[in-house]
Structure 1
């Protein structure tokens, strides 16, 4: 029975409990909360929401909510990363991804609005000007971005202008949006907007500065007067472009995309590269055009502009992707330097080949002297630039000039000083050759004295003195005196030799009469001839007149004193001049008026004065 019972009886039934729901972890709960909070804010500001939200600005209307929005996006991203590790196909992950797309669309719109609405306060000039000042205010603004108090934010802004404050806020907002979008994997959308807007600003600014892209063929067809105006515009533009436009854009780009160096480089390169190349290409094209002396100084101006801006160019365009800009600037420097060296060589050749063969009336300053010295004195104003250009261009003295012309060149002078001294030397030697056109030796020496005096004065009163030095000036001043002395000897020798060598020696009255006749004729001839001569420099004119007057008066005075009582005065008299008369006549010389004519025509007044004095 027991066995039967055991065999037939069924075991007692057992109740199987239903499976328990999975336990929610703290992390999952936190991530769910992140999604819930983000959803409410993101949907509120969705671009598909109300009409008001479509036109409103999250970052302008409610700064506190804009910070919450960015925090929500970061929290949403954390939630997405969490759910990816749990279940890549979960409904919550899909929901979070949809919300993220909505948030990025909103931030993309905000980024565009801030860039567009703040074009004025985000212009490179404002950005670069502010960056040159202390960044303390900007740091304070950035720090207070995390503060909920608008009053405190405004208090910090009191130390800066309204424009600066607006600019700092806009830059901080752009940076915050860019950081958020890049971190969320939407950097490309952000960068695309930035490049389009900022490149248009750069291009527009350069257009208003007068920068235009010209081909060599077009430059060759432009008249120099027109091209010079374009160069002047370029000179004004390049300083503004480098120190303000590109500098400010680099600062803005570095600030907005501080989260990514590669994005910073890509953005700045794409925005500035083409415009910068166009800017620095212009001087190279001009340098390749036809060369002539009048273009020299504009070439030097452009060389100086790039050279002075080179530290900024190197710093602003430091990226590898903008190295082509640096290369273009260097290429323009090289081409400009080559053009300047060519024009210096042509200038020297033009001096040596000056075709003028007509003597300058009165032995005055030759037009070549004025032109060359004015030109060289302007060159001296560019001594720093020229020193750089001629550094690897030593002077080669292959010239038909006589060896004596090389005496004033010092071997230890700088290359630019030597080059300038050489050009002046070429001029002086050319002038020396032009003395052969004067038949009167005295006039030829007066011509040399006039021209060398002009050269010396030009050197002494310009930057040429800094290059050539006091010794050069002193040496050439002594040459002027030597030429003047030669003029005196040649021009007045016949007058001096007409008087006795020893005025106190006893001679017969007949001999005295002969001496007076010769003196009168010699003085008349010298005066008549030299009344058409000129000494252009007032100081040199006075020195020569005083020197001649002293020597003439000294030689004539004793003879006159000894014989004035023995020989008759007045009309027809042998004694026609008193010593004072000689000085009066000499005072009229060297103005090249030619009005004095014959001495006898104006001698009666002097004689009457002389007669009255005795």
Structure 2
């Protein structure tokens, strides 16, 4: 270059003499490019680039020759364009071959295991409304013999510590940086950004395929209904799909995007504008598709109330991760993604609130329960189990629910009651009214009281979970317990007043006592036998309550029967004394097994 400059600046040197250094520089640069291209074409393995320092020097010479004008300027520009084309091809080849997939062991299995249902057949995923709810939607825990609501729902079920997807090999990254700096030096930033963005976007999209949350953005309209968007096949999204989206969000925002940002910084760090452009091109459609799948879930309008906890979890997780998304981007790209994130957040909020209000209205109208047949044994119906299951899962998201629920949503409590507490109190009040309405289907007063007692006890049992007990307070729990006791007392009176009356000696005169005693013993035997026969088939699911009822019955019947038999048994034929004290006890202890 020094020789060329001296020649150009000295009028005493001939044009041929002045052109000679430029001709030699151009020839050497073209030869270096051709040698590199030939070796690249013949390369087998590696990244296909050999003698890169010589190539870099040649490119810099071509840039210099092309920028100074003169006889060889146009030829140098053409050679530079050719070199850039080959460099771009090589950049793409290195980027593709230098990317490796490094997930944790059995990532797919880990993802699905992390959201696996405790009892897969007990999923609510097939329930479209409360009318379809049934006892088969619940399973019994072997540890405490209590009904357990099963959705496989977990807030912290998957670790991100070992999730590293589609990383760029360090050696490849170094070479990509050198190529990128040459292309940027030659003014080919646009081609470079386009190539990097297309390849990395395509690669990153494989993450969405891996998680199973990929859709076609070309036919997706986020503002349209699911049917209008052409996604009818996805209308039956189950809870597992929603949970997978949450896990994908955590992995992508927590590891994939930061690693991509780091790769862009390492490769294009010498030019912040190119760095940002490449990151935006690589990740924008990728993030949009992740958002689009979440939006698709929010658009599903089936009345599947069991989806509410997962919708709220999606909302809570997204709120938590949104600042991390925005921190990775700048300028217009940040604004665009932020706007789409806000749109998704609003959709999730709207759908969660819509289902919550619809759920509350269903409790008022109780048309969803009208076709549910009462259980003949007086046990807990499915709709209280369903309702308490949803409430119990939602209780873990009280902070988020207090943000999204309208202040006036509840209608129960004081002005200072939080929206979530007010909503739960209203829901429980309406649930109780529904249970009372359903109890009218029982013609037997005793069984009706057992039914009311069982369902009130179930609600109390579930309300004693830590989150709900703190929310509802001791006063509510005490009132619910009093209600259980009232139903239990009503049952005892309706069922055992008559047999106990037969064991009273009041009104027995001496002249007719033999006849009266015979009648009383016969009546007691008949009534007690009928109670034993019928109420053995009734069900009291709660073991403590079942045992309590039996003990109360024994405490009343055994002493009365012992005293009556002891006083009058000797006056009658033994055939009229059908039951021994042991028989009485055994029969009572068999009650309420269902």
Query: How does the TM-score come out when normalised to structure 1?
Result: 0.68
Listed as ranges, the matches of 1:171-190 within 5 Å are 171-190=173-192
1:524 to 523, 526, 533: 526
Is 1:324 paired with 2:336?
yes
Find the counterpart in structure 2 of residue 479 from structure 1. Answer: 483
RMSD of the alignment, in Å? 4.4
- Structure 1 stretches of 5 or more lacking a match? 1-20, 25-31, 127-162, 398-405, 593-614
Find the counterpart in structure 1 of residue 90 from structure 2. Answer: 113
CA contact (8 A) 1:541 1:590 kept: yes
Is 1:259 paired with 2:253?
no
Bigger Rg, structure 1 or 2: 1
Is 1:66 paired with 2:52?
yes
Find the counterpart in structure 1 of residue 380 from structure 2. Answer: 365
- Cα distance between partner residues in 2 of 1:344 and 1:384: 15
2:353 to 337, 341, 362: 341
Shift of 1:548: 0.8
- Cα distance between partner residues in 2 of 1:37 and 1:514: 137
Change (3 A) 1:465 1:205: same
- Cα distance between partner residues in 1 of 2:69 and 2:393: 79
Cα deviation, 1:28-49, whole Å, max 9, x if unaligned, reads: xxxx9x9899768734421377
Shift of 1:185: 3.2
Find the counterpart in structure 2 of residue 271 from structure 1. Answer: 282
1:550 to 527, 537, 555: 555
CA contact (8 A) 2:502 2:524 kept: yes
Shift of 1:546: 0.8
Listed as ranges, the matches of 1:47-446 within 5 Å are 47=34, 51-52=38-39, 54-56=41-43, 66-67=52-53, 70=56, 94=72, 102=79, 105-106=82-83, 109-119=86-96, 121-122=98-99, 167-203=169-205, 205-207=207-209, 209-210=211-212, 211-213=214-216, 214-215=220-221, 216=226, 217-218=228-229, 221-222=232-233, 224-225=235-236, 234-235=245-246, 237-293=248-304, 296-297=307-308, 299-300=311-312, 302-352=314-364, 353=366, 354-356=369-371, 360-380=375-395, 383=398, 385-390=400-405, 392-397=406-411, 414-446=418-450
Find the counterpart in structure 2 of residue 42 from structure 1. Answer: 29
Question: In structure 2, the residue corresponding to 1:437 is in which secondary structure?
Answer: coil
Query: How does the TM-score come out when normalised to structure 2?
Result: 0.70
Q: After superposing the two structures, state which structure 1 stretch, 220-229 or 422-431, moved more.
A: 220-229
CA contact (8 A) 1:377 1:462 kept: no
Cα deviation, 1:69-128, whole Å, max 9, x if unaligned, reads: 546766887x779xx8xxx6667xx56x865764674465345324323425435868xx
Which structure has more RCO (C-alpha within 8 Å, separation ≥ 6)? 2
CA contact (8 A) 1:303 1:333 kept: yes
Shift of 1:218: 4.6
Shift of 1:540: 1.4
Find the counterpart in structure 1 of residue 456 from structure 2. Answer: 452
- Structure 2 stretches of 5 or more lacking a match? 1-7, 12-18, 104-164
Shift of 1:547: 0.7
2:593 to 576, 591, 594: 591
Shift of 1:515: 5.5
Change (3 A) 1:45 1:80: closer
CA contact (8 A) 2:48 2:90 kept: no
Change (3 A) 1:468 1:286: same
Q: After superposing the two structures, state which structure 1 stretch, 44-53 or 332-341, moved more.
A: 44-53
- Cα distance between partner residues in 2 of 1:221 and 1:164: 32
